[in-house]
Structure 1
């Protein structure tokens, strides 16, 4: 009987891609992939360590599966991903029940590590971060009609609050031909939505081609038969070029959706974050994006409670939210991360103030999002079908305005039967908070 291996992948889509490469290696070696942890022999926790909440979730998962191992439910616990890379020796010492701890540079050793763990050996392996393999077969772990296409790993921006450069290392792009080969392979399998991701997607290619190559890459991805939607995530504000906007506006397959994390609006705080923007730059950039890409949906993220943030600084943030009217917003409280410059900055903000400010931002955003949703009533919209509520008979899906896993849904009634992954035209009839309600268009 084949040994069953399961994975819990935490954190971002980029970490998910790493996990999918490991699953492909495991499957190719003859192990059986298993979705139910309690039915697995081996469980891999592909961890996140970006902020405190993510670290806590990773550790809770590790301890939960170590307890299942103690009870004899599973045979081995494997820890990979960002927590393993960031806290190497701490994990080795403090969680001796973990049978395998692999740093990101050793992901391709996953099969040997599992083999050894099942023989009763403990495996602890680390390597330089840039040995992380990005060009390899993958087993998709999300719905089969969309995929994340990882363009690069690491980051050189060195924002003072962010641990990613410490965890993932320097920015390094994949070769364009390798990315396009992956896109073609997925398209041939029936994947119709390609979500382009990296820590800084807009910097793609600069390190290996000497210039920003995202616009050219997008054009080539759009040429691939079978690709229906192309979505670009994580655009750094200073690298949103006119060329990029022109490509997004002119390529029909590119969804008019732009994810530009701004983090703050106060020039003083942005400078302390080691970011080069200020209020006027960000406001003008968003205005330019809207002018060059009519109908664009803007997503951003903010951080409240960065060290030294005054009520005046925070007021600039809320003013930008109201003025720009971003359609999609995420807001996080500042998490002091050891090893980052901001960790030891003076004037740390208390948790209650951070939370209060984040709640204010999201309250402002809810009103903007509800107004935006109502503006769609009576209009037609293309939706990818994601499922059917068996009890109500109502389908649900996403429009171009919604990235997988993080944005809103469209709920629609239809007299026809649809499969997940189909694209359907609907007429919006109402809204429920952030979500839209619709019926299939005639």
Structure 2
């Protein structure tokens, strides 16, 4: 019997790809797919459980969907993803709203779980997290011109602050053939911006021992009909000269590199179990800027890791003033149970850590403002994302702005500019971290 199944996806883009795979499996089984839980037979909530804020968001969504069940507007709730993988016992005890669970190794069991729930049976699937099936059809939910290509699952880096290896398993690369088949399908469907993602894309192929590499994969992807190929995330210690040359020489690869460094102080980096030093990072950034003078660097930073005193924090701030990284995500250390960092001595007071986050955000906003000021009067290629009725003009992104995490360009045009088209925009102003301009005819 066909059911109406609603999907809600939380967390990162990698999680979204898993949601899209589950949607395709349910559609293949004859069920109707919707994004509206109200009126559905089953809602599938794919959760993140990485840090405290993500856990809170997942629980809030569970409670909201539970209220729909109480009101008779939803029959069953199936929760999947990192939260269930991490806290199955807590969910059983504390969240009676949840009717069934899928661990991160069991996305492909979604159809069986839905049918079990609707038959009044228990549905809990927790397969191994090291051998998941990552290929197969997806229902792409991003705008038709942008799509993600997930090239690997899991992580083997073992950073002291991170729980992901315990939730997602060891690093495993998908085959080049499977990736290129999927990419060809996306290109044929009209995707113009391909965003290559994994927890660490730089280690792509190293586990396969068949000659696969990120540089090789990128060269193949650039042969397909994409306009932009964007990269998330590159770990600094394995960015090779071959990879830099590949990124510099292929015009389709946008010169926007998301390289999570987390900190710059050597003692903190060692405590984090990172595999670089401050000198390594500085040398890498210099090499990248030499190869790609227009490169925009994005990073992730953690403030308040145990052992971070005023001297270590000031070193980070000075590093950021000197390096002028145009984009940064700044996070307060979250002592996640099961991680090495949670058990370390010299824990930093959360209020102190929060204040440090605010100081770095303020510092980085000045760096971003300086970058935006330097854009004034230049002409930049913009991917139009549609007409913003509230702003009364078109909105889009440059190569320097990734989906949902960076800024936008608001621009005027005399004629129609379809979403998904690329246009040249003359930058004429700045606005709260965004750029403004007009089409350059």
Shift of 1:279: 2.0
Task: Specify the alignment match of 1:195 in structure 2.
Answer: 195
Task: Specify the alignment match of 2:328 in structure 1.
Answer: 329
Q: Write out aligned runs for 1:86-235 (5 A).
A: 86-209=86-209, 213-224=213-224, 226-235=225-234
- 2:348 aligned with 1:349, yes or no? yes
Q: Write out aligned runs for 1:309-388 (5 A).
A: 309-388=308-387
Shift of 1:41: 2.5
CA distance in 1, matches of 2:211, 2:190: 32
Shift of 1:174: 0.2
CA distance in 1, matches of 2:262, 2:254: 23
Structure 2: unaligned runs, 5 residues or longer: none
Q: What does the per-residue CA deviation read over 1:284-331, in whole Å, with 9 as the maximum and x for residues that have no partner?
A: 211111111120000001000001110011111111111110010110
Deviates further, 210-219 or 426-435: 210-219
Deviates further, 170-179 or 104-113: 104-113
CA contact (8 A) 1:279 1:320 kept: no
- Alignment TM-score, normalising by the size of structure 2: 0.98
Task: Specify the alignment match of 2:301 in structure 1.
Answer: 302
CA distance in 1, matches of 2:291, 2:56: 42
Deviates further, 383-392 or 300-309: 383-392
Q: What does the per-residue CA deviation read over 1:5-45, in whole Å, with 9 as the maximum and x for residues that have no partner?
A: 11111111111111110001111222211122223222111
CA contact (8 A) 2:80 2:103 kept: yes
Shift of 1:95: 2.0
Deviates further, 115-124 or 210-219: 210-219
Task: Specify the alignment match of 1:401 in structure 2.
Answer: 400
CA distance in 2, matches of 1:421, 1:28: 28
Task: Specify the alignment match of 2:77 in structure 1.
Answer: 77
Deviates further, 175-184 or 41-50: 41-50
CA distance in 1, matches of 2:45, 2:81: 8
Shift of 1:397: 0.7
Shift of 1:118: 1.4
CA contact (8 A) 2:7 2:36 kept: no
Deviates further, 142-151 or 383-392: 383-392
CA distance in 2, matches of 1:154, 1:440: 42
CA distance in 1, matches of 2:392, 2:268: 49
What value does the CA root-mean-square deviation take over the aligned residues? 1.3
- Alignment TM-score, normalising by the size of structure 1: 0.97
CA contact (8 A) 1:283 1:320 kept: no
Structure 2 counterpart SS, 1:209:
coil
Q: Write out aligned runs for 1:238-253 (5 A).
A: 238-253=237-252
CA distance in 2, matches of 1:22, 1:98: 18
CA contact (8 A) 1:366 1:433 kept: no
CA contact (8 A) 2:62 2:97 kept: no
Shift of 1:433: 3.0
Task: Go from structure 1 to structure 2 and tell me whether the alpha carbon gap of 1:214 and 1:359 turns closer, same or farther (over 3 Å shift).
Answer: same
Task: Specify the alignment match of 1:254 in structure 2.
Answer: 253
CA distance in 2, matches of 1:392, 1:208: 49
Q: What does the per-residue CA deviation read over 1:32-83, in whole Å, with 9 as the maximum and x for residues that have no partner?
A: 1112222322211100011111011111111211121122110110100111
CA distance in 2, matches of 1:152, 1:200: 8
Deviates further, 365-374 or 80-89: 80-89
Shift of 1:392: 4.3
Deviates further, 27-36 or 182-191: 27-36
Structure 2 counterpart SS, 1:58:
helix
Structure 2 counterpart SS, 1:375:
helix
- 2:419 aligned with 1:430, yes or no? no
Structure 2 counterpart SS, 1:112:
helix
Q: Write out aligned runs for 1:55-70 (5 A).
A: 55-70=55-70
Shift of 1:193: 0.9
CA contact (8 A) 1:92 1:124 kept: no
CA distance in 1, matches of 2:77, 2:184: 35
Instruction: Give aligned pairs, total.
Output: 441
CA distance in 2, matches of 1:349, 1:51: 17
Structure 2 counterpart SS, 1:41:
strand
Task: Go from structure 1 to structure 2 and tell me whether the alpha carbon gap of 1:392 and 1:47 turns closer, same or farther (over 3 Å shift).
Answer: closer
Structure 2 counterpart SS, 1:130:
coil
CA contact (8 A) 1:5 1:42 kept: yes
Deviates further, 125-134 or 154-163: 125-134
Shift of 1:210: 5.8
Structure 1: unaligned runs, 5 residues or longer: none
Shift of 1:278: 2.2
- 2:379 aligned with 1:389, yes or no? no
Shift of 1:2: 5.5
CA contact (8 A) 2:104 2:167 kept: no
